[in-house]
Homo-oligomer: A and B are copies of this chain.
Amino acid sequence: MNFPSSTSAANRYKLMGDDLYKRSEKINAELFTLTYGALVVQLVKDYEDYEEVNKQLDKMGYNIGVRLIEDFLARTGLARCRDFSEVGETMAKVAFRSFLSITPTLVHHPAQPPSQPQPAFSLIFDENPLTDFVELPEEAVEGGLVYAKILEGVIRGAMEMVQTSVEAKIVSDALRGDEKTELRVTLIRHLEEEMPPGDE
């Protein structure tokens, strides 16, 4: 992709996300919402334990993330991010935009040792096709169900494929009564410090 050289860095991510979104094969979001809902309901029925459902969603997400990132890298041709804040920009404005058609608000949390030794960022969701029209029964809230937990796994799996170990965690959840839904992604470590060969 080529953008006019005057384009600001932040705007470049947005344009890249828009472009990728336009070029991708798409399906109706409501169908996706309902299919994901059917999956969660099935897990709740099968496991009868919300913590176990969370684990399963996370595991499924991981497997999906590992697959999705290949396609994403192939389609974007993106080089390795220079730092963790660039990871945040790419995730919010290119990945979420092109896959789920939303752009969560991005908040950077630079590393501040010793209280926070590693950099992190938060994705704040005003909208989310996974949770559209969803209301959790009281029992599920009390049981600790994190409905959109699959996202944590997707991010962890995808990042691992680019040699980056992260923790991804929904730290507040509108479905559980919080004011907003916030997913916080914290760098754990780079799994391989060398630059990948080629592509320079």
Residues of A whose CB lies within 8 Å of any CB of B are 24-32, 34-36, 38-39, 42-43, 46, 56, 60, 63-64, 67-68, 71, 98-101, 129, 150
Contacts and interface: CB of A to CB of B under 8 A. Distances in A.
B34 A67 contact: yes
A38 B62 CA distance: 11
B26 A29 contact: yes
A98 B28 contact: yes
A24 B29 contact: yes
A66 B183 CA distance: 32
Contacts of A31: 32, 64, 68, 99-100
A56 B67 CA distance: 26
Nearest to A64: B34
A24 to B, nearest CB: 5
Contacts of A35: 32, 35-36, 39, 64, 150
A38 B149 CA distance: 14
A68 B64 CA distance: 25
B68 A25 contact: no
B60 A42 contact: yes
Contact of A38 (B29, B32, B60): B60
Q: Residue among A27, A38, A67 with the most chain B CB within 10 A?
A: A27
A145 to B, nearest CB: 16
Nearest to A60: B38
A63 B38 CA distance: 8
B36 A25 contact: no
18 contacts: A25-B129, A26-B28, A27-B27, A27-B29, A27-B32, A27-B99, A27-B100, A27-B129, A30-B68, A31-B100, A32-B32, A32-B35, A34-B67, A35-B39, A35-B64, A38-B63, A39-B39, A46-B46
